[in-house]
Structure 1
């Protein structure tokens, strides 16, 4: 009897599951807003807690914090953002944002900005789950390294007015006023309230708070202060300056530095002085200013430079800037605004063309030159100068050395050669002396952790080089390794190939770790020891790419400890399996599998003071939620849980398709199939492409409004098959290469028997948009096409500007993605033969083009050229131009609009759905802003 009951229950459950599967619905455009994502994940220093933000695409999110060992022990803060752990791991604090719907209602009422709701602060006690809140918060801060203190800066208090009082109440604060700052321990046992505070911060060790405040005497402007958190003593460091900037306390907490000016902030060039305060002696002195011996000639202290103490506190770094008048015309008060000339002069001899200069104008106006104040001697050394402007102190300044570079001799070529060289110097931070390493070095050099070597990947030589600072000798680090390539083996553009990167250095600069395509090599920078393949060649043998996983933040600065655990990431080139292995720096043992599955793993983070880690894991089905584990990866416990609504919608699956390009090269593509897929079905197929995508097999793709391309889950959920083929390129033949790679893959999928060959379409954006435009001049296989921001005329685009950066487009055709490999006058036929515009009369495929009028990457006129050619030829085409939008859509309202139009366009051609009115009637300018014409034709 029992068995019959169980059988009956089982049958009911089976029927229920079957019914449930049938009742699943397709995704709609209304689903986007609620789809959630996880971000900002952090582990407390002690490893006990994990916190993260969960946010819908549109709406109010939340912070969740879970116990690492017991993820079920969880707290949530609704509308929480920007959180941090206390240094002892006992508290979590962050902002609570106003409710989004309430803010929207107030905006509809044109509510004044100062009347809008403000942020609040929460303090969550992780021990008992109690939450404390504070309203109207401007900001909050905690010490970086130690100390469990919190500083909370409040908004200006508004004065409430008695209705019987008709006198005007002025709530708007003066620019010289500050607001209240609360400084307290997390448990609230110790606290101070400071008034009129304008700026503040903690020392890294957490024993001092520095701040500036408006003085009660408005004639004296501001003052700078220090609060000793150990004894509660507040010390006035200085008073009377108009502005204080760049405040910082050194690591040993002995000195406080800041910049200050007595000039009006309205002055076009206020002069700042650099001050140093001895905390123990309570002694303040000005250490640098205009005319100080040692700083830049005709220079001054710049507010735009960062104040940074060296780690040992022996040096204070600051920035200087030239102090001379360049534009006298600007200061002429006898000229009316309408009389002033406004023009750009493009000079052939300029290092950079005018659009690029204009893009960088603000940054260059704020450029500073590194200088050093020496604490013992009181001497100032100008480290950077007008010849060697760029000094990279990086993390290795404890050795009193830095790298300097100068690319000015080669900068003029940058418009067409983005792999220009630079003159590289070793710079003595004590004296400013510069020793030339190499002229016209093509690569990006760095210092080894102990500053014994300068090292870089030399692109012309396709190898790693090292310069011994002591002996001044340069050597090829890989000279003794034969038959292994350390450059990108599938590099297919007319430029010098890049490297596979490096894994850093061992401590004491004992060895350099470098990657080939699959394996990791340990190389002696002195050349005395033979190179060792620490993965024993098993990466290449098994087609698994091994890379070193950074576990400690200081590994890059101090080198990897050979006695510490070595964790490797692993990725199978063809199956796309991913995970982690245990490595051996000595190269005696083979990599030992810890975790290797059909997932994508990324974002691994380790607690600072324990071996607890967190990691993200995903598949096409599985959102990359957070998992808790330890360094042995023995157990993965899911922490975050998102998007339960996915279980209610048709989702689908993805698989790899292996095929061969027309030239016989093995290729792969991703094939997405609808849920409840039937082999005997007759599915319409969308084909999307952009370079190579097959490594993303296990990527989760959330339903989201489109910035430019089809949303794959949306189309799959709505019973489309979607195919994403990889593409390999031959130099000079970008169009034919796309055809030779894409079409065999499309044909293979079409021949599998479940695709409706009469209803296939292609869509791509930018470089993908170009390939769409090219393909429809070569084949009528596709019933419809979508081309976003396509280059259709390489002859006109070649001479254009990438307005987002101000760069000439020449480099793109000569060196990078467009892959022509020469100038327009060297290879005119290549430019013409690869340009779809010249073959527009062959197009028989209806096309939906998107090209926006503020596109900073591909000139807008390319989309216009394509549209006008097709219009002239009476070939069905529509051009979507989102006003003031860039290459990819930024504004969510426009993304939603494009998503609707993409689905309507392809549904019409591939599913015989009625065409929307915007396709049949257009959208006349007289109706712009009054209707969207989504309605379907009858």
Structure 2
């Protein structure tokens, strides 16, 4: 009999067991990073019968998991797979298999290089039978993009064979050197196959009818060539031979033509002349050979650096021409030694771009091309791009008789301080090359509607969507009559606000779908005032952001008869999910799925209703789920990181609070496992603009590229608070204070915070705010500032070396939010610069600023460190050699993670300081020790 006494005993034992189980969980440590998995490349066959995804640890060997959607619990695993695809016939999965990472590392430690290291393999998996075929030493492979049951496999060079000792006197003929290797072309089932030697490049026609391949030259022989393999007959045709290089081989959409560019000039020639060839596949005729003389560009030549594309109807071939190479006497003077040549940069005030931008873009400028078109019926060339209007925009599928063209050259000189310069818009006729002006100094990035009736764009200056009617040549304001804003409502910088984007056009250009902050509008350009709110205003009234899910990867226009699937995000609760409605807009959207998760990566099978979708929360890995468009049954098919169950993970809470000016804001409070408000926990505060929408984002334990890893600190019994920040123009520092401090105070009032042990950390713009805050308050016991701007006056005129741009735009228009020049608003620059208040700082600081930072001048970190050193205040500067704004090398990220945790553990938990903090790391010990050891 189960009495109350027995029940009490049972509950006591249950609680003891539960507490014991909780105690068995451990905190994350730095060794956990490498094995933590992420998922990518989820794919589903067109018929929806099979799906797969790639799982990769942060460092180590990954795997591919493939399953039948009818029995998703049964998976076929391909270990060390990389870059897989399903074949167009839905019959096979194909991809590479990488060498075992530990084996490669061991060989590298033995100083093995190049050909002595293991090579990639290839796998072919028959989806119906599950059988897997593997081929070794594979260099590359290809399958047709649209249809066909073929694969082409290029192998690595054959391994050197040891000479037979039996015939030591025999002279063996040395093989001639060539860049080419063996190519195997075969059916996926292996029933038919062909082999070709010394192949350099190859590619299928999209419809899988043909394969082109190029033979490489052999040593001392001029025998490079282009061949065409007819996959229906197995016959291989010689198309052309005996050129130095062949490039840009492109099939027309229906395989009627094969085009390529070739030259017989030396590879070292400074001005090689190229010829454009067009081979008629059906007529077996290389009838079109376009040389320099056929180009309609002044002093122009055919360029191998431009893209080559056919129109959808195969009547036109688009290609690039370039200016003739210009020879200079000084450059070609052979009487001057290299050490005698002058090397300098001249910065001219009249230049469109400043010298650092020119140098950054030099390689692209040297390969600059101007688009031209060859009419394959009339055999006439029309020049489309010119020196004056040099940008022509071709669509994914070229099915119109015109294209957009634009230039920003008249306004380019202002780009160093105005990144929202205008552009002159034109449409260019493919038959005549005539350029017709659409608008001067337009604000926005134009596109052409699918049926070609309109050119449309978002005009930032008018905060409106506009269209240009190609028939009437009239400009239409699409959104002015709609009583809601279409600009970003939370925009808080001195630049023009952006838009919420558009969702595409209804078939026949009958209407365009445009987003406001919450809802989607269907707007007929002929009658914009009759716009229809497809989501019935439910988004704005409910604070739900609706966005259309594009379910077709190759969609050109929207079929209005289809169901409209919407993603949905609640602005306040952060719930996420999917709704459905119609393109008529006569009824409110119907909820299909809404929960406290993040949903993303919706992938639909082309020929069925099966879909894959990712779902995550802070506790739940972003696993793949299988469902259909009803979203009624979500079947979890992947299982990332089962080891997380044994780790203290914690939770996240949404915090509502008011900024000092009364603005409602939100923040994220990450809490340790078993959080008890009656206890006191050290707290880290991290910030960067607004982050609260990421409530349900999964955050993987990973080495720090610049900022604290939230799961690591939470697992190690820290609270981590991430507040949102709203900015007032001209007051970035005070704005940060007015939003961050009230947020911290709100969290403190909730309980559980050890107010004597709180710290702040941020990177870049967050690093600036850290530097500013510690000049305004002593409430934080330690601070970490990555790449901080501390002196806006010295940073203002500097260069962002990653782009070559002047930093002026950042202060006048974007993130720094000053809203004027240094000479217009000098006090704003001074009062927002922490350097001039550094004597107020009482907080120990760990700074990271790297010597190849391309975004924030490295000397900013030095200025902060030297001020702290001069003032005899505790500060350390971590400078990773050769690293950019955020760390890119994993070894350095691991190092930073260790130092961040040691620094904050020392100040917030009373842990012993490591030797690098107490003794430093003298230059003579650099590379010999890391000094992680803790001081006695």
Conserved? CA contact 1:620–1:701, under 8 Å: yes
Q: Give the structure 1 partner of residue 399 of structure 2.
A: 398
Q: Give the structure 1 partner of residue 203 of structure 2.
A: 201
Q: Give the structure 2 partner of residue 437 of structure 1.
A: 438
Q: Give the structure 1 partner of residue 227 of structure 2.
A: 225
Tell me how far apart the structure 1 counterparts of residues 490 and 12 of structure 2 sit (CA, whole Å).
54
Q: Give the structure 2 partner of residue 359 of structure 1.
A: 360
Unaligned runs of 5+ in 1: none
Tell me how far apart the structure 2 counterparts of residues 173 and 30 of structure 1 sit (CA, whole Å).
49
Conserved? CA contact 1:396–1:451, under 8 Å: no
Q: Give the structure 1 partner of residue 418 of structure 2.
A: 417
Q: Give the structure 1 partner of residue 52 of structure 2.
A: 51
Tell me how far apart the structure 2 counterparts of residues 169 and 426 of structure 1 sit (CA, whole Å).
68
Conserved? CA contact 2:708–2:897, under 8 Å: yes
Q: Give the structure 1 partner of residue 631 of structure 2.
A: 633
Tell me how far apart the structure 1 counterparts of residues 664 and 423 of structure 2 sit (CA, whole Å).
39
Conserved? CA contact 1:93–1:124, under 8 Å: yes
Conserved? CA contact 2:178–2:218, under 8 Å: no
Tell me how far apart the structure 2 counterparts of residues 338 and 804 of structure 1 sit (CA, whole Å).
29
Conserved? CA contact 1:158–1:171, under 8 Å: no
Q: Give the structure 2 partner of residue 86 of structure 1.
A: 87
Tell me how far apart the structure 2 counterparts of residues 721 and 866 of structure 1 sit (CA, whole Å).
28
SS at match of 1:325: coil
Conserved? CA contact 1:176–1:222, under 8 Å: no
Tell me how far apart the structure 2 counterparts of residues 802 and 742 of structure 1 sit (CA, whole Å).
28
Structure 1 residues 4, 47: closer, same or farther in 2, change over 3 A? farther
The Cα of 1:326 is off from its aligned counterpart by 4.9
Tell me how far apart the structure 2 counterparts of residues 244 and 349 of structure 1 sit (CA, whole Å).
41
Q: Give the structure 2 partner of residue 522 of structure 1.
A: 522
- The TM-score with structure 1 as length reference comes to 0.97
Q: Give the structure 1 partner of residue 730 of structure 2.
A: 732
SS at match of 2:895: helix
The Cα of 1:172 is off from its aligned counterpart by 10
The Cα of 1:767 is off from its aligned counterpart by 0.1
The Cα of 1:167 is off from its aligned counterpart by 8.7
Conserved? CA contact 2:176–2:218, under 8 Å: no
Conserved? CA contact 1:46–1:88, under 8 Å: no
Question: Does residue 247 of the first structure (1) align with residue 236 of the second (2)?
Answer: no
Tell me how far apart the structure 1 counterparts of residues 510 and 322 of structure 2 sit (CA, whole Å).
40
Tell me how far apart the structure 2 counterparts of residues 169 and 885 of structure 1 sit (CA, whole Å).
53
Q: Give the structure 2 partner of residue 283 of structure 1.
A: 285
Question: Does residue 115 of the first structure (1) align with residue 116 of the second (2)?
Answer: yes
Question: Does residue 453 of the first structure (1) align with residue 451 of the second (2)?
Answer: no
Conserved? CA contact 1:298–1:324, under 8 Å: no
Structure 1 residues 132, 934: closer, same or farther in 2, change over 3 A? same
SS at match of 1:226: strand
Tell me how far apart the structure 1 counterparts of residues 100 and 630 of structure 2 sit (CA, whole Å).
42
Question: Does residue 903 of the first structure (1) align with residue 901 of the second (2)?
Answer: yes
Structure 1 residues 891, 913: closer, same or farther in 2, change over 3 A? same
Question: Does residue 590 of the first structure (1) align with residue 588 of the second (2)?
Answer: yes
Q: Give the structure 1 partner of residue 820 of structure 2.
A: 822
SS at match of 1:398: coil
Conserved? CA contact 2:177–2:218, under 8 Å: no
The Cα of 1:15 is off from its aligned counterpart by 4.8
SS at match of 2:741: helix
Question: Does residue 801 of the first structure (1) align with residue 802 of the second (2)?
Answer: no
Q: Give the structure 2 partner of residue 577 of structure 1.
A: 575
The Cα of 1:14 is off from its aligned counterpart by 6.1
Tell me how far apart the structure 2 counterparts of residues 364 and 607 of structure 1 sit (CA, whole Å).
42
> Is the deviation greater in 364-373 or in 465-474?
364-373
The Cα of 1:295 is off from its aligned counterpart by 2.8
Tell me how far apart the structure 2 counterparts of residues 54 and 189 of structure 1 sit (CA, whole Å).
32
Structure 1 residues 169, 502: closer, same or farther in 2, change over 3 A? farther
Question: Does residue 535 of the first structure (1) align with residue 516 of the second (2)?
Answer: no
SS at match of 2:784: strand
Q: Give the structure 2 partner of residue 160 of structure 1.
A: 161
- The TM-score with structure 2 as length reference comes to 0.98
**Could you list the per-position Cα deviations for residues 133-158 of structure 1 after superposition, in whole angstroms to 9, with x for gaps in the alignment?**
10001100000001010000001112
Selected match of 2:604 from 591, 603, 606:
606
The Cα of 1:176 is off from its aligned counterpart by 3.7
Q: Give the structure 2 partner of residue 336 of structure 1.
A: 337
The Cα of 1:13 is off from its aligned counterpart by 6.6
SS at match of 1:370: strand
Tell me how far apart the structure 2 counterparts of residues 17 and 89 of structure 1 sit (CA, whole Å).
49
Q: Give the structure 1 partner of residue 273 of structure 2.
A: 271
Tell me how far apart the structure 1 counterparts of residues 872 and 931 of structure 2 sit (CA, whole Å).
23
Question: Does residue 323 of the first structure (1) align with residue 321 of the second (2)?
Answer: no
SS at match of 1:317: strand
The Cα of 1:175 is off from its aligned counterpart by 5.8
SS at match of 2:754: strand
> Is the deviation greater in 644-653 or in 166-175?
166-175
Q: Give the structure 2 partner of residue 775 of structure 1.
A: 773
The Cα of 1:670 is off from its aligned counterpart by 0.1
Aligned pairs, number: 934
Conserved? CA contact 2:479–2:528, under 8 Å: no
SS at match of 1:685: strand
Tell me how far apart the structure 1 counterparts of residues 639 and 169 of structure 2 sit (CA, whole Å).
55
SS at match of 1:541: helix
**Could you list the per-position Cα deviations for residues 192-213 of structure 1 after superposition, in whole angstroms to 9, with x for gaps in the alignment?**
1111111100000001011011
Q: Give the structure 2 partner of residue 463 of structure 1.
A: 464
Tell me how far apart the structure 2 counterparts of residues 771 and 19 of structure 1 sit (CA, whole Å).
43
Tell me how far apart the structure 2 counterparts of residues 32 and 172 of structure 1 sit (CA, whole Å).
49
The CA RMSD over aligned residues, in Å, is 1.9
SS at match of 1:244: strand
Unaligned runs of 5+ in 2: none
Q: Give the structure 2 partner of residue 494 of structure 1.
A: 494
Conserved? CA contact 1:226–1:235, under 8 Å: yes
Tell me how far apart the structure 2 counterparts of residues 174 and 707 of structure 1 sit (CA, whole Å).
48
Q: Give the structure 1 partner of residue 481 of structure 2.
A: 480
SS at match of 1:303: coil
> Is the deviation greater in 51-60 or in 157-166?
157-166
Structure 1 residues 452, 499: closer, same or farther in 2, change over 3 A? same
